[in-house]
Chains A and B, each alone.
Chain A
Amino acid sequence: MQPEELLFQIGKGDNTAFKQLYELFKVRVYNTCLSHLQNESDAEEATQDVFVEVHRSAAGFKSNAAVSTWIYRIAVNKCIDRIRHNNRQKRFAFVTSIFNKDSGELMHNPPEFNHPGILAENKEKAARLFKSIRELPENQQSAFILKQVEGLSQKEIAYILDMTEKGIESLLQRAKANLRKKLGDIYDKNEGF
């Protein structure tokens, strides 16, 4: 069954169709969430939120885009919501730690993220890349991840981020330039590798 048909069936309450759609998209959704959130437990939570939203909105799906890009859009939005929530919590933890020295460990600097799918010889470099991605503005993060990690086309990314293709092109250029600058700073601080 095609994804459009699966969505139609889900809208009518067919749970088998929902399971099929989940099997079709679980890896793409989970990996998008994992690259954005850089934490396996957060990525699993976000993946759950994405499929709950897909189930809830299946009946209202309009076929002006592919099902995959529609699901990617939901995934990116859920990830951004979660990143904002996590950032608010970090700020709160930071303020709390200023006023209360005995409040425990401050999780201001999250641990280094090691993507489980990265080749062994690239692990260290990829960890630096993900750390720098995390410091980019939200839309640059999403554009870079969708292009570089998920391998989507600029047209698909434009739909997902609700921008024009030209806009995505310049967003990607800015993201890459910012990443190169951040990585350059890391290189300088470490006096080379």
Chain B
Amino acid sequence: MIEMEKEPKDSWIDKVMESTAGMQKAVPADGLFHKIEQKLSDTVVYARTVPLRTVSMAAASIILLVVANVYILGNTANDTNVIEKSPVESVVEYYGLNENGINF
């Protein structure tokens, strides 16, 4: 039985490293330019529509923010009619410590 001779390691590596020598250039498919044109027109439409959408969403957010602020401010204004007690007064009232009628 004849045993095939192994190729020396360095020689094999050199051949692999040089295996792209003399390679032909691959050519892209014929329809590729048409696809690029299609992508470009899609990109243009996208570029026109996205800012409009973003602007309308931003406008809606601002309106929502203004409405929420007006609502909160309105409620806060109503609350100012209630006389607030100081923390000491609250504690005294809670534990019933002011039987002598001392004003704080």
What is the interface of chain A, defined by CB distance below 8 A to chain B?
15, 19, 22, 26-28, 30-31, 34, 40, 43-44, 47-48, 51-52, 55-56, 115-119, 122, 125-126, 128-129, 148-149, 176, 179-180, 183-184, 187-188, 191-193
Contacts and interface: CB of A to CB of B under 8 A. Distances in A.
Interface of B: 6-7, 9, 12-13, 15-17, 19-29, 32-33, 35-37, 39-40, 43
Given A180-B17, A183-B16, A192-B6, A44 B28 contact: yes
B28 A117 contact: no
Given A22-B36, A31-B25, A129-B16, 6 more contacts: A26-B27, A47-B32, A56-B43, A122-B21, A187-B9, A188-B9
Given A22-B33, A27-B25, A48-B35, A184 B9 contact: yes
Contact of A193 (B12, B19, B33): B12
8 contacts: A26-B27, A26-B28, A48-B35, A118-B20, A126-B19, A180-B17, A187-B12, A193-B12
Contacts of B29: 44
Contact of B23 (A19, A44, A126): A126
Contact of B19 (A30, A44, A118): A118
